[in-house]
Structure 1
């Protein structure tokens, strides 16, 4: 973790092992889950206001002030997508554009929003979806209708913007769990161990220099221009000769490679597809034979005549 995020983390959330062990089992389970799954984004739904809140939720000196995180532009874009899709959130007189920085609104420390971003690379928003803190059951359907389009558009924006792809090792062709950084943005995300895939949120309409790296490999960088659509960007990292012979990278993907170093993932996917189709046809054949047999059964064994006693 870089120094800036580590410094903010120490100020905004409790992360020591002792503190982790004192938390409720449900809280510890969520913390482990976030670290393992590499979620792109998440949202926490609250009531009592009508606004989309984004990190940081607290500041270094614990004052009530605007305190933006390294991905402030991306978070403001995500919050605006939600607010502008809402029936009246963006018209708020209290919050300009219907969005707010958490530390500027009211600082909190130990919240899930900041923790997810720091430790999981997960971009979380806190969505205040109703001015009423405890709405009646009869009002829930209306609240859903007012927020439905915002939720759908927010999810769609995760897929339609940012940069995503996979990271491979050049010598083996295997996917590797490398890290992704963007120059000028002091945070990073990690690719998954299974497929080496990543998805990083970025605000559209700008140019970015993206860097992929991993211990034992030479980093690679490239510049992209991000418009309204997401950019698909794969990286193939060369082993770093300065560290001697590179040890095999353990991943959860046990895929073999051909002589050219290309993964057999696609070929194996076709094999499984063929087996699935074969199994489906076999099941249809067995079902057909049983139906034919059931139709012929009455003719082979005519019903017995009633016996008078």
Structure 2
């Protein structure tokens, strides 16, 4: 009898844990402190994992395998090579390439445009993002120069898609990677000394961190499953309490989250989350998350998007989920050019681009303009007045007040040197910058006029010289013949 009761207790606890795992996408089997709960029996865990793997393996029918995904990415590039490129940002624990796609009218070229990234399949058992990002890529390919929103995105944004951050976890039907590590707890944390040793990070985590160093992303979003809500920073609190904990750009993040939720088929109608959005720490705090790390260390505004109540819905529901999320995904990317303040920073003495810092009064968060083009892209909530400041060592600080409406604001800065004695960036242009200037229409018109004038001057000078020699020749002949 005792044995029967023990078996019954084990069965109930395993199933309760399974229900909790399904309901809470970001946390899985853990308490609100953010630490994994491994308290249940090892034998029960193995039984649970075997049953769960079999169940998920059955649900995987109709989803792309890792091999299928790679073929789909290459097939997309094969027919849309004019506006795309594919590349790998690294490899998983088991050596699977982490394939990414860039979609732009000038893929691979560095420009003064904002960049956005979508990341899917952070957790191996949340595969919907894999499918949706391929559908997004192909929709943009099919509708470029046909649909205004598709054309706006391709022409004005460098969009990067990483369908699977965790291909090993997908194959294993597990939340973590091949080392059983939750990748959304593997990033350095702002509140606690954890994950600070970069050499100890998982290869998938390192790949994301190196990716951020190479490409200056303005904003991004990761796609998860298990709920229906747009989640924004902060994800944790200083005391591990479950409370609303706002980051410096709380209003901008709320605007982004509402933009996604409001464009979604039914996310904004959520009964659990007001307007279909939530502050991460208010929902439940986590630590070592990718979202907060992007904002703090990458200068990138990232949302965590829970796009399906069911973590692993049947494959025949994927098209419907895509239709529910399509407009939201497109609107979020387009917001990079349809809202916020954008511009470039130049030196007054020689017009050189300056990688200045851009600050907003009252918001304790500074971004930096790009090194090459000195372009900046600052997301701000509309409907407010902002004091925007550009500052650079060796130059006078410049501040301008703007009123942010529903449309984007273009604001360039020209900074004056503080003193000729202080070291400043040299006034020189690279060959690429010179080519950029030459390629501008007004410069080409001016150059053409200069060439025409130069040619006319050459003809006039040639005529004068010719007449001069003719006169000399006539005089010489006269001299020679005159006796």
User: What TM-score bracket applies, with the shorter chain setting the length?
Assistant: 0.7 to 0.9
Contact 1:49 1:128 in 2 (8 A): yes
Task: Pick the aligned partner of 1:266 from 437, 443, 447.
Answer: 437
Q: State the distance in 2 between where 1:66 and 1:22 align.
A: 31
Query: CA offsets, 1:157-183, max 9 Å, x none?
Result: 221110000011222211121111000
Instruction: Tell me: CA distance 1:139–1:31, structure 2 relative to 1, closer, same or farther (3 Å).
Output: same
What are the within-5 Å matches in structure 2 for residues 165-204 of structure 1? 165-204=343-382
Q: Which residue of 2 aligns with 1:11?
A: 191
What are the within-5 Å matches in structure 2 for residues 13-92 of structure 1? 14=194, 16=196, 19-92=197-270
Displacement after TM superposition at 1:118 (Å): 0.7
Q: Tell whether 2:405 aligns with 1:227.
A: yes
Q: Tell whether 2:136 aligns with 1:136.
A: no
Q: State the distance in 2 between where 1:234 and 1:211 align.
A: 11
Q: State the distance in 2 between where 1:74 and 1:192 align.
A: 21
Query: CA offsets, 1:82-115, max 9 Å, x none?
Result: 1011111111010000000000001111111101
Tell me the TM-score normalised to structure 1 length.
0.77
Gaps of 5+ in 1: 1-7, 258-262, 275-309
Q: Aligned with 2:231: secondary structure?
A: strand
Q: Aligned with 1:212: secondary structure?
A: strand
Contact 1:66 1:104 in 2 (8 A): yes
Q: Tell whether 2:305 aligns with 1:151.
A: no
Tell me the TM-score normalised to structure 2 length.
0.50
Contact 1:9 1:118 in 2 (8 A): no
Q: Aligned with 1:11: secondary structure?
A: coil
Contact 1:58 1:108 in 2 (8 A): yes
Q: State the distance in 1 between where 2:427 and 2:222 align.
A: 34
Higher relative contact order, structure no. (Cα contacts within 8 Å, ≥ 6 residues apart): 1
Q: Which residue of 2 aligns with 1:216?
A: 394
Instruction: Tell me: CA distance 1:45–1:249, structure 2 relative to 1, closer, same or farther (3 Å).
Output: farther
Q: State the distance in 1 between where 2:323 and 2:424 align.
A: 54
Instruction: Tell me: CA distance 1:244–1:25, structure 2 relative to 1, closer, same or farther (3 Å).
Output: farther
Q: State the distance in 1 between where 2:241 and 2:263 align.
A: 31
Task: Pick the aligned partner of 2:422 from 218, 238, 245.
Answer: 245
Contact 1:52 1:82 in 2 (8 A): yes
* Number of matched pairs: 258
Gaps of 5+ in 2: 1-187, 446-483
Q: Which residue of 1 aligns with 2:27?
A: none
Instruction: Tell me: CA distance 1:80–1:250, structure 2 relative to 1, closer, same or farther (3 Å).
Output: farther
Task: Pick the aligned partner of 1:126 from 288, 304, 307.
Answer: 304
Q: Which structure has the larger Rg?
A: 2
CA RMSD of aligned residues (A): 2.6
Contact 2:189 2:287 in 1 (8 A): no
Instruction: Tell me: CA distance 1:14–1:232, structure 2 relative to 1, closer, same or farther (3 Å).
Output: farther
Contact 2:350 2:427 in 1 (8 A): no
